[in-house]
Amino acid sequence: MVRTLPQKGRPRVHGRPEVRPVPSTPIAPIESERAAGAGPDVGDPHAPFATPIAIGGFELSLDTAPIDLLESVARSMTAQRLDDWFSSVPGTDELAILSTCHRVEIVVLARFPDTLERWLEVLPGPRERWRRSEGRATVRHLFRVAAGRESLALGEAEARRQVRTAGFGVRSRHPRPVLRELFQAAARAADDAHPSVPSSRSIAAIAVQRLLALVPGEAPRVLVIGSGTVGRQVAEGLGDRARVTLVYHVRPPEPEFLARTGAGAVPLAALGEALGECDAIVTAAKFGDHGLGAADLPPDRRLVVVDLGMPRNIDPAVRGRSNVRLVDLEELRAFAEGPRALEAPDPRIDELAEHYGDRLDRLLLEPWIDAFRRATEEVRRGELDRARAYLGVLAPGQEAAIDRLTRRLVTRLLEAPTERLRAIPAGPEGDRQRRLALEFLRPAHP
């Protein structure tokens, strides 16, 4: 079950909640928003009354684009570029990026209605290749990604780790950050729905199946470049059906692992020699930049080469070599498509996503309610200041009594409409009612 954060209680006066300004530091708008007239600061109590904040996602994957385009975009997603986008797209309060072996996804928290459209204008590549989602559709999609329902290996466990990691990298200037909790909730939902995942549900297992189908002979010599999670899974999957050598960069695999799998290990410095003695290669490391080219492969030995990298580890130009059979992620996706089509749906993940969608509706509403309270508090104080001209000099006790009385009056007046606003149900009709309510409740300022 998706865990939710406990709701902190508000201070109470004589049994009723007291309205106080939110103790958060106002966040200044980015310069491009000021220049473009995109809107006032989130911390400005007058600001968020036009529309409730929204969440949206953009997906580029092997489901929507060829591998060449996906690789080009994956290479361009540098930290500096993401920071530039975050500071230049008006109305972006939060930004997260999720990158896996076959997808790049952008998730944003948008302050203005046209923010999501502006994102389509800055994202690289043809805009029609980016699959766009909004609101609960984005939540449901992220939960499915975390549960491996959108992976090449259906139900793989690696996806939830990637989603959880992406949640820690969220860029935010929102008063109450949302995306990090969303990503963590998606990963927890995957853990709750599928706490144990067999090793057969992994990209490594698909690679092993495809490799063994293409390599002739008994017990081929397979060089696995990379001794991390995926490399080890490949070695375990091959088992006694191949003679495996793992290439490691810093630390060699543990002797216990090598003994259990029957694999050998060599350092990266010995890669050149190892390449000349193998029948197949699997790249399971993130060295990218087409680190292996045609000139690195032996010219007189038939090779099956499986590239699990994104960006790719092997130069696609090796296809021009008659002795090399290159298998990339695009081919593995097509290879896995048949078994994927036979898998049953996963109603538990959809149920958990729907539950979190209810929570998200409330999370996205709270900054608006906070701003509404700050605005009414500003009006209350302004009216008290004007009234003092007619009240004369008051004793401290009288000042405190008037302040307490007016606070209680405002609290009583706000309590019912804000609680009814929170209680508006989810769905299209609820969204329409919520927008109308927010418009009617927008305070007028002198």
Given a cut of 90, whether residue 83 has pLDDT beyond it is yes
With pLDDT > 70 as the criterion, what percentage of the chain qualifies? 85
Contacts of 387 (CB under 8 A, 6+ apart): none
Mean of per-residue pLDDT scores for the chain: 83
276-302: b (≥16 Cβ within 10 Å) or e: eebbbbbbbbeeeebbbeeeebeeeee
Q: In the prediction, which pLDDT does 89 show?
A: 93
**pLDDT tens figures, 312-332:** 999 999 999 999 999 999 999
Asked if residues 300 and 323 have their Cβ atoms less than 8 Å apart, the reply is yes
Q: Which of 208, 219, 213 is nearest to 241 (CA)?
A: 219
Q: Which of 196, 188, 208, 399 is nearest to 306 (CA)?
A: 208
Contacts of 406 (CB under 8 A, 6+ apart): 380, 383, 384
**pLDDT tens figures, 249-286:** 989 999 999 999 999 999 999 999 999 999 999 999 87
- HSE of 99, CA atoms in CB hemisphere, 13 A: 18
Which domains are present in the chain? 26-197+352-364 (3.30.460.30), 203-330 (3.40.50.720), 366-441 (no CATH)
Neighbours of 395 (CB within 10 A): 8
Q: Is 226 exposed, middle or buried (0-12, 13-18, 19+ CB in 10 A)?
A: buried
86 pLDDT band, cuts 50/70/90, is very high
Given a cut of 50, whether residue 50 has pLDDT beyond it is no
User: 115-122 vs 79-88: helix axis angle to the nearest 10?
Assistant: 140
Q: In the prediction, which pLDDT does 24 show?
A: 32
Q: In the prediction, which pLDDT does 121 show?
A: 92
**pLDDT tens figures, 223-249:** 999 999 999 999 999 999 999 999 999
**pLDDT tens figures, 130-176:** 999 998 999 999 999 999 999 999 899 999 999 999 999 999 988 77
Rounded Cα–Cα distance for residues 380 and 386 (Å): 10
In sequence order, the β-bridge partners of residue 54 are 110
Given a cut of 80, whether residue 387 has pLDDT beyond it is yes
Q: In the prediction, which pLDDT does 444 show?
A: 59
34 pLDDT band, cuts 50/70/90, is very low
Cα–Cα distance list, 303 to 82, 153, 266 (Å): 39, 24, 19
The pTM (predicted TM-score) of the whole model is 0.76
Q: In the prediction, which pLDDT does 274 show?
A: 93
213 pLDDT band, cuts 50/70/90, is very high
Given a cut of 60, whether residue 47 has pLDDT beyond it is no
As a whole number, mean pLDDT of residues 79-85 equals: 93
Q: In the prediction, which pLDDT does 426 show?
A: 67
Q: In the prediction, which pLDDT does 312 show?
A: 92
